[in-house]
């Protein structure tokens, strides 16, 4: 009891998040529930620094998705069920703006596992530390990550573990942390897809990279189908499109975020589908593995 009380005293939940949680959970018509987590004890400015600001314009103007309901699949799909034990669990990027590297490496890792290339996780730290523009924790577009992967490939997480969770970027390493030679793998290609084409792509190859806008209320997400209700925009984030489904008349996407398994539904969340909600259908990147 003393330890729990002391922990809450040292890391109090941010007042604005408590207000948001009360607002969401008191709305009987809300399709999702909110709650405190490891992020709600952080200052909003800290969370904003971990999110990308340059990608906001690409996600802020809803696209015309009038064709999506007619062309999209009404049959639920979940990559975790289609390929059991081959989809990597959500990771935690910490306070570093590195989702641009996580989105690329994790989606490609999943597809390599599915294809039988390797079941090891590719290293986002390799890209973060070695990408030629040295953007590090400053954030970058998906083009930076995929261009790096096409040119240089990526080594394994076991070789270069993630070390930027506190907002610092180690120097680029040419050998593994144990001194051994790096094994590097490459994608065959990458391309940007429309949402309806992305469904076909995910069913055939596995999860792909997806971007979305983050508002204050998403930080408090606990379960259900997320729809933005309140709070200011904090920035843009990348994750992995895992699948889709519906509940009643609401269709949703299933997305793996990079905020750890303590957040949301064990690191995943559902978000309204077919309306480019929070720009979720604007930037989808498919990378094909080469092995």
Residues 20-29 pLDDT 10s: 999 999 999 9
Indicate the number of domains in the chain.
1
- 122 falls within a domain: yes
**pLDDT value of position 136:** 82
- 5 falls within a domain: no
What are residue 233's phi and psi, to 5 degrees? -75, 135
- 4 falls within a domain: no
On whether the CB atoms of residues 276 and 62 are closer than 8 A, the answer is: yes
On whether the CB atoms of residues 146 and 103 are closer than 8 A, the answer is: no
- 1 falls within a domain: no
- 135 falls within a domain: yes
Q: What angle do CA 204, 206, 211 make, to 5 degrees?
A: 120
- 7 falls within a domain: no
Tell me how far CA of residue 247 lies from CA of 34, 61, 151, 228, 273, in angstroms.
Answer: 18, 26, 43, 17, 11
- Give, to the nearest 10 degrees, the angle between helix 142-152 and helix 99-115: 50
**Nearby residues of 133 by Cβ (< 8 Å), 6 or more positions away:** 140, 144
Q: What angle do CA 285, 286, 287 make, to 5 degrees?
A: 120
As a dihedral over the C-alpha atoms of residue 6, residue 10, residue 11, residue 15, rounded to 10 degrees, the angle is 100
> Which CATH number goes with the domain that contains 231?
3.90.70.10
- 3 falls within a domain: no
Two structure tokens written together for 65: 């998705």
Task: Please give the distance of CA 87 from its chain centroid, rounded to a whole number.
Answer: 14
Task: Round to whole Å and give the CA distance between 240 and 243.
Answer: 9
Q: For the chain, first and last CA: distance in Å?
A: 53
**pLDDT value of position 16:** 87
Backbone CA torsion sign across 99, 101, 105, 107? positive
Alpha helix locations (H) across the chain?
A: 2-10, 15-26, 44-49, 56-59, 68-71, 79-82, 99-115, 124-130, 142-152, 195-205, 216-219
- 2 falls within a domain: no
**pLDDT value of position 132:** 82
Task: Round to whole Å and give the CA distance between 47 and 89.
Answer: 22
> Can you give the residue range of the structural domain that contains 216?
12-289
Mean pLDDT by 10 residues, the chain (291 residues): 39 74 96 97 93 94 49 81 97 96 97 95 96 84 93 96 95 95 96 94 98 98 98 97 96 98 98 96 96 86
């Amino acid at each position: 009891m003393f330890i729990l009380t002391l922990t809450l005293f040292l890391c109090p939940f941010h007042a604005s998040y408590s207000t948001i949680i009360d607002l969401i959970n008191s709305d009987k018509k809300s399709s999702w529930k909110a709650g405190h987590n490891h992020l709600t004890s952080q200052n909003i400015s800290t969370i904003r620094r971990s999110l990308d600001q340059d990608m906001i314009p690409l996600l802020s103007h809803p696209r015309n998705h009038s064709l999506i309901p007619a062309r999209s699949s009404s049959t639920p799909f979940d990559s975790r069920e289609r390929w059991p034990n081959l989809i990597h669990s959500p990771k935690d990027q910490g306070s570093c703006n590195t989702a641009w590297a996580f989105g690329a490496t994790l989606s490609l890792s999943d597809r390599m596992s599915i294809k039988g290339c390797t079941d090891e996780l590719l290293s986002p730290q390799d890209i973060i530390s070695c990408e030629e523009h040295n953007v590090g924790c400053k954030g970058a577009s998906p083009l930076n990550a995929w261009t790096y992967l096409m040119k240089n490939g990526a080594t394994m997480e076991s070789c270069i573990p993630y070390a930027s969770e506190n907002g610092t970027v180690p120097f680029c390493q040419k050998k593994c942390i144990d001194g051994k030679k790096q094994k590097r793998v490459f994608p065959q290609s990458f391309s940007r897809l429309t949402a309806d084409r992305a469904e076909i792509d995910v069913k055939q190859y596995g999860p792909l990279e997806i971007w979305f806008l983050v508002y204050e209320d998403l930080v408090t997400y606990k379960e259900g189908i997320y729809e933005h209700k309140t709070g200011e925009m904090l920035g843009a984030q990348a994750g992995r499109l895992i699948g889709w489904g519906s509940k009643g008349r609401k269709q949703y996407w299933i997305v793996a975020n990079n905020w750890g398994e303590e957040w949301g539904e064990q690191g995943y969340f559902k978000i309204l589908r077919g309306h480019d909600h929070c720009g979720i259908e604007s930037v989808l990147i498919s990378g094909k593995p080469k092995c």
